[in-house]
Structure 1
Amino acid sequence: MTGYPGFGVLLAKLCDRRQLDIGTLARRTGVSEPEIQDVLDGVVPTPSLLRQLGPALGLHAEDIFVFAGVTVPDDLAPLDTEARRWVPYVVKHAVGLPPEKRSELRHLVRSLPQHEFMHSPPFPQIYDPPAGPPGALLVRMLRYRNLDWMGTARTFLLLTGRYWSASTYGMVGAGRKELSRDLVVDFGTVLGIPAGDLAALTSITLPEEPHTTEPTAADMADLIWDLRRLTADQVRHVVEAAASMRTT
């Protein structure tokens, strides 16, 4: 299986996908063109630059840290690892809601107060390989959406209609199972990242790039992201709210 090609290679692929030249990317990030060129040539980027590259590329900064194969800073990690058990239940109740109810639920999530980190360190990274096979990038991005393997399996089923066992995601992350085209597309749906981006990053050829993500799936990807900042008790409250919306 193909190994980690280096962040410079992945960054070049993303820039190519977005038709961004070095000058444009430098302006968007507020750094010099030589600094961008150095990264493209293999120099390890600074944490500050990685944070800036996220919005410059239309991606979350957390994902850029994952692409770079470095430790994600604590302040960018999910707040409470205990909350992950409830995330699939939010999706279960929210996925069937009409658009106005989904919007109401996201407003509720965003209105909940922000608490301090629940753990020290707030998010265990001991099992996160700094870099690895293509599948490791995708699985690690799921971890930073506060989804473990079982939660991933449940969420993928709810949003894509396809079920892969929890252990499958572990094997993908460890490089013991090849990424399939279907898996890449499904990862794109749950991560809220265009499948074409993931295909480019993992060197998987898609016969045809999927069209615009279905609105419900896009809303669910955004909701999963918003849940990262909440405690387990808060996410459980969101589960109850979503369930009640289904009956009203």
Structure 2
Amino acid sequence: METPTFPDPDVRLARLAAAVGLPAEWPPTEEFLDGLQRRTGLHVHDLMLVADLPLPETAWLFDETAGASSSLVSRSLALPADGRRLLRARARSLTAPAGTLAPWQPRPYERYPEGFGSLLLRMLALRNLNWSGTAKAMCLMSGVCKAASTIGAVGRGAKPLDAEMLDGFAATLGVPVAVLAGLTGVPHPSADGREPAPEVADTAGLIREIRHLTSDQERGLTAYADELGTD
């Protein structure tokens, strides 16, 4: 399978805009990015990565021992809609204590060449998901179960993106697979704009909402999800 070429930022944004029926703008205005965020489901920081725009330093502050655990992801997926709403509200109410977060320092193996695989992995790094965390969340949320090393190989360009991997990344990011198919140019047999299932979309939102929390706070949310599941 031939790996799609990695176009310039203006082309990448134009592809996303075309995928959701928006006229392209370059350079992108704040209003354009806001509209693209609403229609694609990607966060504005994801779009800034697509456009090679600098992100605020606070976007890269994490407790690297935290991130969405498989326990929290699985519990979120199993909750009814009201439970997921309460869990996300609890997550949004939390703030990491001062001094507990530090700037993300990518390891040598996380320094990727340009490409769509690396772009998607950097979006997930913005959610405090490393290769292992991505592999676990992806398996639970999409049924696409790959080794952490395979996730890394996609970032390095050693494994090309295909329709199956697009399904996995789309679910983990909480966006329609058509959005990623339009961005990457990877053919997908069902890239018809179908939205993620509600439990998948809510869990993807939760993953993003806890990105700046500590491991202790993440464990507390998992315990809260257990409580919600027994109500």
Q: Does 1:100 align with 2:82?
A: yes
Give me the whole-angstrom Cα distance separating, in 2, the residues matched to 1:156 and 1:109: 20
Superposed CA RMSD in Å reads: 2.3
TM-score, normalised on structure 1? 0.80
Deviation per CA, 1:111-153: give whole Å up to 9, x if none.
Answer: 2235446344x22246554761221111111111111111111
Q: Does 1:138 align with 2:140?
A: no
The range that moved more, 174-183 or 73-82, is 73-82
Cα gap change, 1:125 to 1:116, in 2 (>3 Å):
farther
Q: Give the residue type in structure 1 aligned to 2:36.
A: L
Residue 55 (structure 1) aligned to one of 12, 34, 37: 34
Q: Which residue of 1 aligns with 2:22?
A: 20
Counterpart contact for 2:72–2:221, Cα < 8 Å: yes
Deviation per CA, 1:63-82: give whole Å up to 9, x if none.
Answer: 02221345533212253222
Q: Give the residue type in structure 1 aligned to 2:228.
A: M
Q: Which residue of 2 aligns with 1:65?
A: 48
Give me the whole-angstrom Cα distance separating, in 2, the residues matched to 1:184 and 1:133: 14
Q: Does 1:203 align with 2:182?
A: no
Q: Which residue of 1 aligns with 2:220?
A: 237
Give me the whole-angstrom Cα distance separating, in 2, the residues matched to 1:152 and 1:90: 13
Q: Which runs of 4+ in 1 moved over 6 A?
A: none
Instruction: Give the 5 Å matches for 1:161-176.
Output: 161-176=143-158
Secondary structure of residue in 1 paired with 2:207 = helix
Q: Which residue of 2 aligns with 1:190?
A: 172
Gaps of 5+ in 1: 26-35, 40-44
Residue 178 (structure 1) aligned to one of 139, 157, 160: 160
Gaps of 5+ in 2: none
Counterpart contact for 2:175–2:195, Cα < 8 Å: no
Secondary structure of residue in 2 paired with 1:95 = helix
Give me the whole-angstrom Cα distance separating, in 2, the residues matched to 1:53 and 1:123: 28
% identical aligned pairs: 32
Q: Give the residue type in structure 2 aligned to 1:220.
A: T
TM-score, normalised on structure 2? 0.86
Secondary structure of residue in 1 paired with 2:65 = helix
The range that moved more, 218-227 or 51-60, is 51-60
Give me the whole-angstrom Cα distance separating, in 2, the residues matched to 1:118 and 1:65: 26
Q: Which residue of 2 aligns with 1:9?
A: 11
Give me the whole-angstrom Cα distance separating, in 2, the residues matched to 1:178 and 1:115: 40
Q: Does 1:123 align with 2:104?
A: yes
Count of residues in Structure 1 that have an aligned counterpart in Structure 2: 223
Give me the whole-angstrom Cα distance separating, in 2, the residues matched to 1:189 and 1:206: 14
Give me the whole-angstrom Cα distance separating, in 1, the residues matched to 2:51 and 2:98: 27
Counterpart contact for 2:112–2:118, Cα < 8 Å: no
Counterpart contact for 1:13–1:200, Cα < 8 Å: yes
Give me the whole-angstrom Cα distance separating, in 1, the residues matched to 2:35 and 2:97: 28
The range that moved more, 170-179 or 65-74, is 65-74
Secondary structure of residue in 2 paired with 1:150 = helix
Give me the whole-angstrom Cα distance separating, in 1, the residues matched to 2:177 and 2:166: 6
Q: Tell me how far 1:92 sits from its aligned partner.
A: 1.8
Cα gap change, 1:115 to 1:4, in 2 (>3 Å):
farther
Cα gap change, 1:214 to 1:89, in 2 (>3 Å):
same
Deviation per CA, 1:164-213: give whole Å up to 9, x if none.
Answer: 11111000000000111011022111101221111111110112225221
